[in-house]
């Protein structure tokens, strides 16, 4: 199959091949992001077993992808609300030390 695909691709111009490669890389990134999102939801639902391979992948690959999915998604970190006009003892002591 790869030989047939290579033969067909040889009929295209270099410019076309470069443009098509960029398209394919973009599609791969989108599919990878979607796969990670799917893994995240399945993991949340308890449907991922990282000790066993799945869909032709090794257990190690499933574990690594699941860890990446867990680290990639999640709520954005929030900082506590800032109080205007109130200084803490720490910032007051820093100011007086200057």
- Going from N- to C-terminal start, the domains of the chain cover 2-72
Extended strands (E) in the chain: none
> pLDDT per residue over 20-65, tens digit each?
999 999 999 999 999 999 999 999 999 999 999 999 999 999 999 9
Whole-angstrom distance, CA of residue 61 vs CA of residue 67: 10
Structural contact between residues 74 and 37, judged by C-beta atoms closer than 8 angstroms = no
**pTM of the predicted model over 0.75:** no
Whole-angstrom distance, CA of residue 52 vs CA of residue 96: 60
Query: Tokens representing 29?
Result: 């990134």
Query: Tokens representing 64?
Result: 């690594």
Residue 2 — very low, low, confident or very high, per pLDDT cuts 50/70/90?
confident
């Amino acid at each position: 199959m790869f030989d047939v695909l290579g033969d067909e691709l040889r009929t295209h111009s270099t410019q076309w091949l470069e443009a098509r490669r960029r398209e394919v890389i973009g599609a791969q990134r989108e599919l990878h992001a979607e796969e990670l999102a799917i893994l995240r939801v399945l993991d949340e639902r308890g449907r991922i077993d990282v000790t066993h391979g799945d869909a032709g992948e090794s257990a190690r690959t499933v574990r690594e992808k699941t860890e990446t999915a867990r680290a990639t998604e999640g709520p954005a970190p929030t900082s506590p609300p800032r109080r205007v006009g109130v200084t803490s003892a720490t910032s007051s002591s820093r100011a007086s030390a200057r």
